[in-house]
Each structure stands twice: as C-alpha cells, then as structure tokens.
Amino acid sequence: DPQAPDAVLAGLDDEQREAASTLTGPLCILAGAGTGKTRAITHRIAYGVRAGVYDPHRLLAVTFTARAAAEMRSRLNALGAPGVQARTFHAAALRQLQYFWPMAIGGTMPEILDHKVRLLTEAARRLHISTDRAALRDLASEIEWAKVSTLTPDSYLELAAHRPEPGGVDHRTFAKLYQSYEDVKLDKHLIDFEDVLLLTVGMLEDDERVAAQVRQQYRHFVVDEYQDVSPLQQRLLDLWLGGREELCVVGDAAQTIYSFTGATPDHLLQFTRRHPQAKVVRLVRDYRSTPQVVQLANVLLADRTREQAKIRAQMQAQGEQPPAWPDPLRLISQREHGPAPSLTQHADDDAEAGWIAEQIVALRDSGVPLSEIAILYRTNGQSQAFEQALATAGISYQLRGSERFFSRREVREALAALRTSSLVEESGDGVPKTVRDILSSHGWRREAPEGTGAVRERWESMSALVGLADQLHAEREMLDETLTMRQFITELEERSAAQHAPTVEGVTLASLHSAKGLEWDAVFLAGLSEGLMPITFAKTQREIDEERRLLYVGITRARKHLYMSSAQSRHSGGRGRRSPSRFLRPLRRELGLEEPTRRIAPSSGTVNPNSRAKKRTATCSSCGTVLTTGTEVKRRRCEDCPARYDEELYERLRSWRSSHAKELDVPAFVV
Ligand code: ATP
Ligand code: MG
C-alpha cells in the first residue's frame, strides 16, 4: 500500500531503515560521503509525519545551504509529508529574531546591511584613519572572522598576537576600528549577517518567554552536516532544545571543511558523551559514485591515516599527547563500474580551462545534460578562466547556481515590469512572446552576451524567466488551456515566496566549499596544484588536513565521470612553475599513472635554453613555486602567487555568507 506510513522505508537499505524508523530519542548517523545520510533523515521525517509521530509544524530540520533546504522540502513534499520546516541555521534564526524582536527587544527589527566595507569606511573616518579599499576589505573580513569566533574587540586583542596584522593596521587599531564599526552600525539601526545568530542566541538566553515559546513550537530537531556546526550554532541548538533530547544529527567527520568559521567535528564525535542514551547508526554503502570514484576517495582517506600515524609516533616520541583523530570510514560502492577518473596537467589556466570545455562538449554530445556537470575549484577567483572558455565554446553555465534567484536585482526589476504590464492589459500574443517583449525592453537579448561575470548573470536570470514562461505555457497547452499573464505572475510570486528558483540549464561553476552535500554525473576538479590545493596559507598540519578533506568532498561529488586537473602557471607564459598537488600522489599511484597523463606546451612565451643556466633559482616564500629570474628571487614572491591574487579569507567568508544569505528576506516567523 503506497499510502501506508512505512511505504517510505521501502527505498532504504537495512541500516538506513534502522535510522529512519528510530523516531524518538537522540540519534546520530555517522557515515561517509554518498552513503545516503541525507536520504535517510529525509525519509525518517516523512515516516514520522505519515505515522503521526511528528506534527510537521513542530519539527525543524537544519541543513547547511538553502539549496539543500529547498531540496529537502521538495523531497518531503514528494514523500507525502509537506509543511516541514527545513532551513539553514541562519534562516531559522532570522525568522525567530524577526518574530520576537518587538516583544524581546522592542521597536522594529533593524535592516540587515550587506555592505560591510561601506560602514567600515564611515567607522575609519570617525577615527581619522585613512585606508584604501583593499585594506578595508581585509579589515571587513577580519571583523567577520572575529564575530563568527564570538570575539569582542577586547577579547580579540587578547588572542590577536598570532594573527597577521589585518589591512596593514596594528591589532590595537583594528580593535578600535571594530568597535567603531559596531557603533556606526548601531547608530544607523542596522545589523550585519553575523549579528543574526549572535542576537538570536542572546535573545533566547536572556528572555525566558521567548525561549519557552520557541521550545513549545519545536519538539523535534534534525541537523544535517553536523560535523561543520560552529560553537555558536551549537549554542543555538542547545537553546532550542532546552535540555530535551529529541535530536537527530548526521555527519561525516572526514568532510569537515569549515573550521575557519569555528566549526569543529568534536560536537559530532562526542555526541554520545553528551547524550549517553543516543543510538548510533553507521552507513558504509556508497550509493552515489562508481567504484572507481569511491576507490580514489578511500585512497585519499587512507593516505591521511598513514600521515596521522607518522605524526602520532613523532609526537609520542617527543612526549606530547597526539590529537584523537577519528577512524576514517571505508566506503563500499554499490554502483556499476564506470569510466576511469582522469588526471591531467596543463601549461596554464587557459589551457586547462580550454581542455575542460572540450571534455564538456564531448560529454554533452554523448548525452550528459549540462545541468549534470560541475566545475569545482578552490577559490572563487579561479572561475574567470572557466567562464571565458565555456563562453567561447558556446556552453551555458551558472555561476551562483539558483542561490537567491528571486532576490537578484535584475529578477526583481523584471518581476516589477511584468507585474506592471499585466495590470495594463492582457496581451492572451501569448505569455512567452509578451514576456520576451517586456524583457527585451529591459535589455534582454536572445543570444548570450559576449561578456562574463555580472553581465552574463543578468542575462541568465532573465533567460530563466523566459524559459519558465515557455515551460508553463507548454504545460497549459497540453491541458488545452491558455496561460494568462496574471497566472504567470501568480506563479512567479508563489515561487518567490517558496524560494523555488526556475531550473537553469547549464554547467555549474562553484567553489569546493559550496558544493557540500550536492552531486553531479560529471565533476571537474580544477586547479589541483600546490599553492591552490593545499592553498598557500594552509601551513599547519590541521590546515593541510582540512585542505585534503576539501579534496575528498570534491571527489565524492561525482557520480560517474571525474576529471582532476592542474595548471603549471596561472597565466599563459607565466614564469613561475607550480607542481601538481601533493594530494594527487597516492591517487596517481592508484590510477597507475607515473606522471600526469598530459602535458601541453605553454601556449605562449618560449624559454631560451642558453639564458636559463645563468639564472639563479629560488623558491617563492609563499607557495613554493620555483623562481628563475633575478627580480623574483629578490622579492621571494612569484609573479602569480595565489597569495597575491586571491584575498582568500575574504573570499571564503564571502562564499560562506552568500550560501546562507539567500534566505535573508524570508517572511515573518509564524508560530
Ligand atoms: P554527503 O555526505 O555528500 O552529504 P549523503 O550521505 O548525504 O552524502 P545522499 O545525498 O543522501 O548521501 O545520497 C547519495 C546518493 O545516493 C543520492 O543520489 C541518493 O538518492 C542515493 N541513495 C542513497 N541511499 C540509497 C538507496 N538505499 N538506494 C538507492 N539510492 C540511494
Ligand atoms: Mg548529505
């Protein structure tokens, strides 16, 4: 009987079913990538709702990105359990803050500022400090770091000694700027992104009425990607629970990649210590990837274990206590064999990107949809070469995925224009043509624009609206009905409220950090060279380990086709030489490759063999690239050092923030 509650348990294996049918009490699912953790908890929620154990409005599921939240909501709908709240920590906190602000704090809630730098300019002006824009960005990212680490200006000073001086100012000045920034923010009645969690935690701690009401609202909690929970998020979760234990957490310590936001897998690994009654379920079967892909992930994990054993022995020999590293879980693939993963090396970024574009054309021609292909990279600054190569090859792509689609400026403008015109008259030309006409008057053209970046994104957004009009029109036609503009607008408004972005057909370009929890048929892991992977500033063993986990996350995003590549230099004719990532060594052995499979001559710039001998060589102080020219040796910094071209910390925080920020304009919290 498909209507029976336990029909939703049918598509699960024994361990998954055990987890999904454990509806009460503390529950912890510990398992590797692609083993169906997210699937198990989604089915658990559906089962509990259908069995009448959970009231869907009393359960809160917390996911890592809004995209994952939207996916969970739509799966729950399909499983016959609508109405469950699946949100990110930020989105859930924001709704509570909005709802309780008048009662707990009074007055209207401040707006959320999206331009820290602008506010910081004012803060610096008040202190008569003059800094340039690049420095301000550094300072802004340092403020973000301090706030996610719950450091006040004073407590920052106590800890700051070992941190580099941000934006060229000393720590004391920075602390003053940080305080001044907070003052300006208060004066202008604004709060920033980090304040949302801080204030919600404060409100729940200080106001018993609020805490009681929230606890009454939510009885059951589910947290996905629990290995990346930050101390602040854990505090929020504890406040929601108020000592109760109706909590299910899911995670994989080997996928901890957000330590820089203060996240730590300790909460996951010590779950049973805090909840002695907890049931622990382990999953080992990998349903996502082919045996070839799974094998590479296993090799990478084993390599880490070997390295850890070495470090442990060293530390013990020196009388130190080694850290308690968790045992890696070996994955067992359930899928049929697929193509061998590839590992290639290219002369420069452009050659690498061009090669990737060629492979994508071949994949597309063999029937792989573009929406099933992703290019993942370490830093957002790397996307430009891929954008260019894909645009040249005529392949559509999406840079930001469907994140915050309805909050994009061009979409809001387009919606306003469509709404206005539909008020004036029904044109019946049919909706697709009307939509094209209206958007054309706003600069939309049928053909993709030449440029990349913002220009391209704007075009993509508008094209997605055109595509949606076509799709809805065709659906109505099949029912012998005609889509009206009014219906189209209503549909757009409903989708906007539900954050249900139209699907954009195109290759996904994303950072490894934002690819968490997602999967594609074909995945390209680009730029796997020293300096980028591990990234230049990853120096300590902890940081290197996190970089390796990031690669593990990347590899395990692929269902079938996996391409790993690196470039020897960043620019064509670039002088520095980068070697392939150290993490590739065991993978190369596994793939039976002595050397990278492919070398391409530099696309420009030739080296005169006679002059080479005379040059002294040295290595770049930041990324280890071999330097060959006099000036470079003097500076000890290679020309295209990643430390110079990417303000990485800023980028990481920005992408972390933007992956959460998409739900910032949610409607008021409803109890
Ligand atoms: P990650 O650690 O990357 O978040 P995960 O453990 O959450 O991975 P899921 O995303 O839930 O894994 O599942 C991975 C893929 O395997 C999905 O496509 C899912 O539908 C599929 N899958 C999971 N369990 C099963 C199953 N029992 N039978 C068939 N397919 C399954
Ligand atoms: Mg998952």
Work out which ligand 1 atom sits closest to the CA atom of 40: 11
Contact residues for 634 (Cβ-Cβ < 8 A; gap 6+): none
In a domain, 80, yes or no: yes
Cβ neighbourhood burial of 405 (10 Å; 0-12, 13-18, 19+): buried
Residues lining ligand 1, judged by CB closer than 6 Å? 11-13, 16, 31, 33-39, 252, 255, 287-288, 517, 519, 556
Pair of tokens at residue 197: 């969690």
Whether 273 and 299 map to the same domain: the answer is no
Domain stop point among 452, 469, 497: 497
Work out which ligand 1 atom sits closest to the CA atom of 35: 6
**Domain, as residue range, for 634:** 607-640
Whether 515 and 596 map to the same domain: the answer is yes
Q: Where are the beta strands (DSSP E) in 327-466?
A: 332-333, 342-348, 373-377, 397-398
Task: Count CA atoms closer than 13 A to 355's CA, side-chain side.
Answer: 24
Place of tokens 């994104």: 457
> What is d(CA 557, CA 373) in angstroms, rounded to the nearest whole number?
10
> What is d(CA 488, CA 483) in angstroms, rounded to the nearest whole number?
7
> What is d(CA 352, CA 464) in angstroms, rounded to the nearest whole number?
29
Strands 626-627 and 618-619: antiparallel
> What is d(CA 200, CA 166) in angstroms, rounded to the nearest whole number?
28
Q: Where are the beta strands (DSSP E) in 114-195?
A: 190-191
Whether 396 and 270 map to the same domain: the answer is no
State whether residue 338 is helix, strand or coil.
coil
Whether 433 and 467 map to the same domain: the answer is yes
Question: Residue 30: in which H helix or E strand, if any?
Answer: strand 27-31
Whether 426 and 575 map to the same domain: the answer is no
List 627's β-bridge partners, or say none.
618
Residues with CB under 5 A from ligand 2 (ion): 37-38, 517
**Residue from 13, 18, 30, 38 to probe ligand 1 pocket by mutation (most atoms less than 8 Å from CB):** 38
Whether 150 and 269 map to the same domain: the answer is no
State whether residue 565 is helix, strand or coil.
strand
Q: What is the pLDDT of residue 114?
A: 64
Q: Are 554 and 377 in contact (CB under 8 A)?
A: no
Tally of structural domains, the chain: 6
Name the residue at shortest CA distance from atom 19 of ligand 1.
Answer: 36
Whether 389 and 348 map to the same domain: the answer is yes
In a domain, 656, yes or no: no
Whether 599 and 511 map to the same domain: the answer is yes
In a domain, 530, yes or no: yes
Domain stop point among 556, 587, 603: 603
Q: What is the pLDDT of residue 253?
A: 85
Whether 231 and 378 map to the same domain: the answer is no
Region of 430 (left: φ > 0; alpha: ψ -120 to 50; beta: rest) is left
Spatial CA neighbour of 546 closest among 535, 558, 530: 535
What number of residues does the chain have?
A: 671
> What is d(CA 191, CA 128) in angstroms, rounded to the nearest whole number?
23
What single letter denotes the amino acid at residue 97? L
Longest dimension (CA), the chain: 82
In a domain, 653, yes or no: no
List 222's β-bridge partners, or say none.
61, 248
Pair of tokens at residue 406: 């309805």
Whether 525 and 492 map to the same domain: the answer is no
Ligand nearest to the CA of 40: 1
In a domain, 421, yes or no: yes
Q: Look up residue 428 and give its DSSP letter.
A: -
Going from the first residue of the chain to its last (671 residues), give the mean pLDDT of each consecutive group of 10, the final group possibly shorter: 87 95 94 94 96 95 84 88 89 89 86 80 91 79 79 85 79 94 91 88 92 96 92 90 96 84 78 90 93 92 75 76 64 91 90 95 95 90 84 82 68 87 72 92 84 76 88 86 89 73 80 88 96 82 87 97 90 68 90 58 37 46 51 45 41 44 30 18
In a domain, 591, yes or no: yes
Specify the CATH number for the domain of residue 14: 3.40.50.300
Whether 523 and 597 map to the same domain: the answer is yes
In a domain, 635, yes or no: yes
- The predicted model scores a pTM of 0.79
Work out which ligand 1 atom sits closest to the CA atom of 42: 11
What single letter denotes the amino acid at residue 648? E
Contact residues for 2 (Cβ-Cβ < 8 A; gap 6+): none
Residue positions forming the annotated binding site for ATP: 31-38
In a domain, 66, yes or no: yes
Q: Are 544 and 582 in contact (CB under 8 A)?
A: no
Contact residues for 666 (Cβ-Cβ < 8 A; gap 6+): 91, 94, 95, 98
Whether 457 and 426 map to the same domain: the answer is yes
Place of tokens 């057909």: 505
